[in-house]
């Protein structure tokens, strides 16, 4: 029963493609998977926007959307209809073609990144040997779309937003990729499926071998997550669209459906990088404890994804935004060195074994590097809490 539930979608796909001729079967399967991904994550996008608004509202002691549908959960449908029926305004001076292509150029690579995510056991739409590279290659293409949007609008704010976005995405690309190299080193594979399989609990062990359970893995996970925040332009790294400074950044001149596409691409990017974080560090679809193996694998994946999304929302409700130079400093002077330190640490871990020796050697390195780099980052700007005096009288 558990196994059937686990492989439900795989069987379904097999059943759908089996009568087709051999030559086109993989392509049809890919197309069906893509459609399923679009449908599932499209729905996720809608629900996440509502959940985010409700959660942030609660953090701010408000009620949040509660009018459309039960508890306001159909708000996204209302918003969708609204954006679809809105007038699509293109500025007269805009570069019409590029302006039109930009949202598509943003959405397509983001959707492509989902193809290599293993959503469950045997549930990878495109099980490439170089899956991780595919993920990063597709992710890197989004920057160009952001530039296209910002430049073609012929708006100074959007241009500033695009410049910020590109600088930020380029800078965070490095720690984003570097933090995963440790995982690749340890598992010896670029294939996402193999990386997940390597993290399953070994026979006889009760705890899974998730990378996040190791000192270097924890640090790399945090780095990856921070970089994912930056890559998906989420607070506190939402400078490219910083509404209080440059109004809406690169999509300031987009309205109606095209704006919805940008919005959707942002959320899908958040899902895909969270999904990759789950895959690389949180064991993908594997259960954390061996005795929980009976839970269907895709439930684990989506559960972990949900936890990460909740974290994204929580952070958004809390933090102010960084400034551009601080953002750069953080990427180049804190995250990049830390990522570089984590790499040899992972190697040491590999040779010291996963016992107490590994912990003893690697944990101090990671913590020490974190503390020192953090202190130098803060100390250089002389940032500290202050005490205040009062007038004499």
Contact set for another protein, span 41-80 (CB under 8 A) = 55-56, 58-63
Interacting span for another protein (CB under 8 A) from 18-26, 249-257, 265-273, 367-375:
367-375
Q: What is the distance in angstroms between the CA of the first residue and the CA of the last residue of the chain?
A: 79
Tell me if 246 contacts another protein by CB under 8 A: yes
Give the binding-site size for another protein (rule: CB under 8 A): 79
Give the Cα separation of 68 and 52 in Å (integer).
Answer: 16
Residues in the chain: 393
Nearest distance from C-beta of residue 63 to another protein, angstroms = 5
Question: Does position 375 bind another protein by CB under 8 A?
Answer: yes
Cβ atoms 1, 295 nearer than 8 A: no
* Angle made by CA atoms 356, 360, 362, in degrees to the nearest 5: 115
Residue 207 three-state SS = strand
Q: How far is the CB of 211 from another protein (least distance, A)?
A: 19
Q: Does 326 bind another protein (CB under 8 A)?
A: yes
Q: Which residue, 208 or 265, is less far from another protein as judged by CB?
A: 265
Question: Least Å distance between CB 77 and another protein?
Answer: 21
Residues between 104 and 143 with contacts to another protein, criterion CB under 8 A: 128-130, 133-134, 136-138, 140-141, 143
Specify the residue, 11 or 376, whose C-beta has the smaller distance to another protein: 376
> Rule CB under 8 A: is residue 380 a binding residue for another protein?
no
What's the CA gap between 250 and 149, in Å, rounded?
6
Residue whose C-alpha is closest to residue 215's, from 338, 304, 128: 338
- The binding track of 168-187 with respect to another protein, each residue x by CB under 8 A or -, is --x--x--------------
Which of 8, 319, 328, 332: binder of another protein (CB under 8 A)? 319
Considering the complex, what minimum distance in angstroms separates the CB of residue 262 from another protein?
A: 18
Nearest distance, CB of residue 334 and another protein, angstroms: 8
Among 100, 257, 332, 370, binds another protein (CB under 8 A): 370
Handedness of CA 373, 220, 126, 268 (dihedral sign): negative
Rg (CA), the chain: 22
Interface with another protein includes 320 (CB under 8 A)? yes
Q: By C-beta, is 10 or 181 nearer to another protein?
A: 181
Task: Compute, in degrees rounded to 10, the torsion defined by CA atoms 141, 142, 148, 151.
Answer: -120
Q: Which residue has the tokens 């016992």?
A: 355
State yes or no: residue 247 binds another protein (CB under 8 A).
yes
- Residue selected from 77, 96, 292, 318 as contacting another protein according to rule CB under 8 A: 318
Q: Is residue 92 involved in binding another protein (CB under 8 A)?
A: no
Of 98, 126, 295, 347, the one binding another protein by CB under 8 A? 98
User: Which residue bears the tokens 């700007």?
Assistant: 381
Which two structure tokens, joined as six digits, stand for 106? 């943003």
Rounded Cα–Cα distance for residues 172 and 180 (Å):
13
Q: How far is the CB of 315 from another protein (least distance, A)?
A: 7
User: Using the rule CB under 8 A, is 148 a contact of another protein?
Assistant: yes
Distance separating alpha carbons of residues 65 and 53, to the nearest angstrom: 7
Q: Which residues contact 210 (CB under 8 A, 6 or more apart)?
A: 199, 217, 281, 282, 283, 286, 288
Footprint of another protein on residues 223-242 (CB under 8 A)?
Answer: 235-236, 238-239, 242
Q: Is 391 in the site for another protein (CB under 8 A)?
A: yes
Backbone angles phi, psi at 64, to 5 degrees: 80, 180
Please tell me the distance from the alpha carbon of residue 146 to that of residue 163, in angstroms, as a whole number: 9
Q: Determine contact, residues 377/333, Cβ cutoff 8 Å.
A: yes
The footprint of another protein on residues 330-349 (CB under 8 A) is 334
Site for another protein in 263-292 (CB under 8 A): none
Q: In angstroms, give the least distance from the CB of 267 to another protein.
A: 15
CA pair distance 205, 150, nearest whole angstrom: 52
């Amino acid at each position: 029963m558990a196994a059937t539930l686990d492989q439900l979608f795989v069987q379904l796909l097999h059943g759908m493609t089996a009568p087709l001729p051999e030559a086109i079967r993989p392509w049809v399967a890919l197309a069906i998977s893509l459609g399923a991904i679009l449908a599932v994550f499209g729905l996720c996008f809608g629900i996440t926007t509502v959940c985010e608004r409700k959660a942030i509202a609660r953090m701010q002691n408000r009620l949040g959307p509660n009018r459309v549908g039960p508890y306001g959960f159909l708000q996204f449908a209302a918003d969708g209809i609204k954006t679809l029926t809105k007038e699509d305004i293109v500025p007269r001076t805009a570069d019409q073609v590029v302006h039109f292509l930009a949202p598509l150029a943003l959405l397509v690579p983001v959707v492509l990144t989902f193809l290599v995510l293993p959503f469950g056991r045997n549930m990878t739409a495109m099980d490439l040997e170089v899956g991780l590279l595919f993920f990063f290659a597709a992710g890197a293409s989004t920057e160009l779309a952001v530039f296209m949007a910002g430049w073609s609008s012929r708006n100074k704010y959007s241009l500033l937003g695009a410049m910020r976005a590109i600088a930020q995405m380029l800078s965070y690309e490095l720690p984003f990729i570097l933090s995963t190299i440790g995982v690749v080193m340890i598992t010896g594979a670029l294939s996402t499926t193999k990386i997940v399989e390597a993290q399953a609990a070994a026979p006889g062990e009760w705890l899974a071998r998730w990378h996040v359970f190791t000192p270097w893995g924890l640090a790399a996970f945090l780095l990856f997550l921070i970089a994912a925040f930056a890559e998906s332009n989420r607070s506190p790294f939402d400078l490219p669209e910083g509404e209080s400074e440059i109004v809406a950044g690169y999509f300031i001149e987009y309205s109606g459906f095209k704006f919805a596409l940008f919005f959707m691409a942002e959320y899908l990017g958040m899902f895909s990088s969270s999904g990759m974080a789950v895959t690389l560090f949180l064991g993908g679809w594997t259960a954390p404890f061996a005795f929980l193996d009976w839970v269907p694998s895709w439930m684990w994946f989506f559960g972990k994804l949900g936890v990460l999304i909740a974290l994204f929302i929580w952070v958004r409700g809390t933090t102010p935004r960084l400034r551009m130079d601080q953002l750069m400093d953080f990427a180049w002077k804190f995250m990049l060195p830390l990522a570089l330190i984590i790499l040899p640490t992972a190697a040491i871990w590999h040779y010291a074994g996963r016992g107490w020796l590994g912990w003893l050697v690697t944990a101090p390195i990671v913590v020490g590097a974190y503390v020192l780099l953090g202190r130098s980052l803060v100390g250089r700007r002389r940032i500290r809490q202050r005490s205040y005096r009062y007038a004499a009288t």
